[in-house]
Structure 1
Amino acid sequence: MIILRTVKDFSSLNIVASILLFLMAILAAIIANSPMAPLYQGFLLQELHLRIGDFNLFSHGGHPLRMVEFINDCLMTVFFLAVGLEIKRELLVGELSSFRKASLPFVAACGGMLLPVIVYSLLVVQGTPGTRGMAIPMATDIAFSLGVLSLLGKRVPLSLKIFLTAFAVVDDIGGILVIAIFYSSEVAYGYLIVAAVLYFFLYCMGRFGMTQKILFLLIGVIIWYLFLQSGIHSTISGVILAFVIPARPRLDAGK
Structure 2
Amino acid sequence: MARRLTLDILKTETASGAALGLAAVAALLAANSPWAADYFGWLKSEHTLQLGPLVLRETISDWIKEGLMAVFFLIVGMEIKWEIFRGELSDPKKLALPVIAALGGMVAPAAVYLAVAGGLGGPHQGWPIPLATDIAFALAVFAAVGRGLPSSLRVFLLTLAIVDDLGAIALIAVLFSEGLQWAPLLWAAGALVLGGVVAHRFRIPSPFWVLGFGLVWFLAVEAGLSTSLSSVAFAAIVPLAPRPGNKQTPIKEAMHDLHPYVAFLILPLFAFAKAGVSFAGLSLEQAAAPLVLGVALGLFVGKQIGVFGAAWLAAKAGLGVRPTGSSWMQLYGVSLLCGVGFTMSLFIGVLAFPGAVDSIEQVEIKLGVLGGSLLSAVLGGIVLALAGRRGSDRAAEPEVDARTAQD
Alignment TM-score, normalising by the size of structure 2: 0.56
Q: Distance in 2 between matches of 1:30 and 1:125?
A: 34
Residue of structure 1 equivalent to 2:155:
162
User: For 2:81, what is the secondary structure of its paired residue?
Assistant: helix
The one-letter amino acid of 1:50's match is L
1:115-139 Cα offsets, whole Å, 9 max, x none, are 112222334449x996433321111
1:51 aligned partner? 50
Q: Is the 8 A contact 1:4 1:86 kept in 2?
A: no
The equivalent residue for 2:5 is 6
Distance 1:195 1:42, change over 3 A: same
Instruction: Describe how 1:63-212 pairs up with structure 2 within 5 A.
Output: 64-125=57-118, 131-212=124-205
3-state SS of paired residue (1:155): coil
- Runs of 5+ unmatched residues, structure 2: 249-407
Matching residue's letter, 1:190: A
Task: Give the superposition deviation at 1:5.
Answer: 7.5
Residue equivalent to 1:246? 239
SS of 1:49 mapped into structure 2: strand
Question: Cα distance 1:196–1:54, how it changes in 2: closer, same or farther (>3 A)?
Answer: closer
129-138 or 23-32, which deviates more: 129-138
Match of 1:21 in 2: 20
Structure 1 counterpart of 2:202, one-letter code: G
The percent identity for this pair of structures is 34
Instruction: Write the letter of the residue equivalent to 1:36.
Output: W
* Unaligned stretches of 5+ residues in structure 1: none
Question: CA-atom RMSD, angstroms?
Answer: 2.4
Letter in 2 for 1:14: E
More helix by share: 2
- Aligned-partner SS, 1:208: helix
Q: Post-superposition shift, 1:176?
A: 0.6
Cα deviation for residue 144 of structure 1 reads 1.0
Aligned counterparts of 2:23 and 2:218: Cα–Cα separation in 1: 28
When residues 5 and 210 of structure 1 are mapped into structure 2, their CA distance, relative to the original with a 3 A threshold, is: farther
8 Å CA contact retained: 1:140, 1:171:
yes
The answer (yes or no) to whether the contact 1:199–1:241 under 8 Å persists in 2 is yes
Secondary structure class of the residue paired with 1:154: coil
> Which residue of the partner structure matches residue 38 of structure 1?
37
Determine if contact 1:4/1:248 at 8 Å carries over to the other structure.
no
Q: Retained in 2: the 8 A contact 1:227–1:233?
A: yes
In the TM superposition, what whole-angstrom CA distance separates every residue of 1:203-229 from its partner, at most 9, and x where no partner exists? 111221323212221121111111112
One-letter amino acid of the structure 2 residue matched with residue 196 of structure 1: A
Q: SS at 1:240's partner residue?
A: helix
Alignment length, in residue pairs?
242
Question: Structure 1 residues 147 and 108, CA, compared in 2 at 3 Å: closer, same or farther?
Answer: same
Query: C-alpha separation between the residues in 2 aligned to 1:88 and 1:188?
Result: 28
In the other structure, the counterpart of 1:215 is: 208
| 1:80-122 deviation line (CA, Å, top 9, x unaligned) | 1111111111111111011111111111011101111222233
The SS at the match of 1:247 is coil
The one-letter code of the counterpart of 2:176 is: Y
CA distance in 2, matches of 1:229, 1:108: 33
Counterpart code for 1:38: A
- Shift of the 21–235 alpha-carbon distance from structure 1 to 2, 3 Å rule, reads same
Question: In 2, Cα distance between the equivalents of 1:5 and 1:88?
Answer: 16
The 3 A distance-change label for structure 1 pair 116 and 129 is closer
The question of whether the paired residues in 2 share the 8 Å contact of 1:87 and 1:165 is answered with: yes
Residue matched to 1:227: 220
Alpha-carbon distance in 2 for matches of 1:228, 1:123: 37
Aligned 8 A contact 1:74 1:235 in 2: no
CA distance in 2, matches of 1:5, 1:226: 35
C-alpha displacement at 1:19, in angstroms?
Answer: 1.2
TM-score, normalised to structure 1's length?
0.87
